[in-house]
Chain A
Amino acid sequence: MDNRIRVKTLTANTTLGKNDSGSLFVLKNDDGVKVTLPTKGRGLFYDFVVGTSVTASDKYEIETQTADKIRGVLVNSKDDTASKSFVATSSDEIDMNGSTTGGLIGTGFRLVCDNDGIWNVFGLNGSSGTETTPFA
C-alpha cells in the first residue's frame, strides 16, 4: 500500500483547515497566492513547496491568525551562491516576492504548531537578488 501524503495545489487565496494538517501544499500561481493558517492547534503541521515561481510584482504569502505568531528559520537559497538565513521570533507572515524574499522553484518548508500557539518554520526558500527577510 502507498504511504502517500495528501497533495493540494493552491492556485488561489486559501484558508487552511485543521483537517488539512499533514498535507503538502504546492504553490502554483505566478500571480501569487495568500494562504491563511488556521487558528493555532498543537501538533498541526503543513508542508509547502513552490510549483511555479511567483513573479516579482506579486507574492506568495503565508499568514497567521491575528493572535498567532511565526518563529523559526528560513534559508534564502540562491543557486550556486552562499546562503543567507533569516530568523523570525514573532512574525505574522511569510512573504515571498519571487526574488529577494524567495518564492522561486526550490522553495520547501514546514510549519509546525506547538503548545504555545507558535508556528515553527524550517526549510529552504529559493530566492534571487540581494536576499531580504521573508518574515513580516
Chain B
Amino acid sequence: MQRRRFVDIKSTTATLGRNQSGAVIRLDRAEGIVITLPTARAGLWYDFLVKTSVTSNAYEVAAAGTTKVGGALVNSKDNTASKSFLGDGSSDVKVSMNGTTTGGRVGTYFRAFCDGTIWHIVGDNASSSTEATPFSS
C-alpha cells in the first residue's frame, strides 16, 4: 500500500527540503506562514493543503532565488461561480493567499511541480469576497 507523507507546518517560516518532495504540506497557522520552495530541480513536487484558514498576514509559497512561478489556480467560493488566475512563469515568484480575496481558506489544495526551470502550480484555492490573483511578482 502506498501512502503520502504529511508535513504539518505551524511556524512563521519554513523552507522545504528536497527530501520532502512528494509530501502533502499542511498549512496550519492562522497568523500565516511564509514557505520557501527548494532550489529548482526537475521532478520535485509538493502538494499544499490548508488545514487552518489564514486570518492575518498570508500563506505564501515562494520560489527560491530567481526562480519563477507559473500555473493556474481556481479561486473557489462555496456555491458560487469560480474565477481562475494564471501565473505567468516569467515575473511571478510566489503564491500569496490572504484568507479572503486571494484564498488560503480550508478547502485549498494545489500541487507545485518543478520542471527544472520554473514551478508549475495547479489546483483549487478556497477564497471569499471578490477574488483577486494569488500570484505575485
A103 located at the interface, meaning its Cβ lies under 8 Å from any Cβ of chain B in the complex:
no
Q: Is the CB of B83 within 8 A of A105?
A: no
| Residues of B in contact, count (CB < 8 Å) | 36
B45 located at the interface, meaning its Cβ lies under 8 Å from any Cβ of chain A in the complex:
yes
**Cβ-closest chain A residue relative to B23:** A3
Residues 109 to 134 of chain B near chain A (Cβ within 8 Å): 111, 113-118, 120-123, 132-133
Residues 22 to 52 of chain B near chain A (Cβ within 8 Å): 22-23, 41-45
Shortest beta-carbon distance, A29 to chain B, in Å?
A: 14
Partner of A108 from the list B71, B84, B117 (CB cut-off 8 Å) is B71
**Cβ-closest chain A residue relative to B111:** A108
Partner of A104 from the list B82, B86, B122 (CB cut-off 8 Å) is B86
Q: Is the CB of A9 within 8 A of B115?
A: yes
**Cβ-closest chain A residue relative to B89:** A105
Say yes or no: A2-B122 contact (C-beta < 8 A), given A79-B85, A106-B70.
no
Say yes or no: A51-B117 contact (C-beta < 8 A), given A79-B86, A79-B133, A80-B83.
yes
Residues 87 to 121 of chain A near chain B (Cβ within 8 Å): 104-109
Q: Mark A1-28, 1 if CB is under 8 A from B, else 0.
A: 1111111010000000000000010100
A37 proximity list for chain B (CB < 8 A)? none
Q: Is the CB of B84 within 8 A of A2?
A: no
Most buried by A among B43, B82, B122: B122
Residues 51 to 108 of chain A near chain B (Cβ within 8 Å): 51, 75, 77-83, 104-108
A5-B45, A77-B86 given; name 14 further pairs at CB < 8 Å.
A1-B19, A2-B19, A4-B22, A4-B42, A4-B45, A49-B113, A51-B89, A78-B84, A106-B71, A108-B120, A109-B122, A124-B74, A124-B122, A126-B72
Report 15 cross-chain contacts, Cβ distance below 8 Å, ordered by A residue. Answer: A2-B19, A2-B44, A3-B23, A4-B41, A4-B42, A7-B114, A9-B115, A49-B71, A51-B115, A51-B117, A79-B85, A83-B74, A104-B86, A106-B70, A108-B120
Residues of B at the A interface (CB closer than 8 Å) are 18-19, 21-23, 41-45, 70-72, 74, 81-89, 111, 113-118, 120-123, 132-133
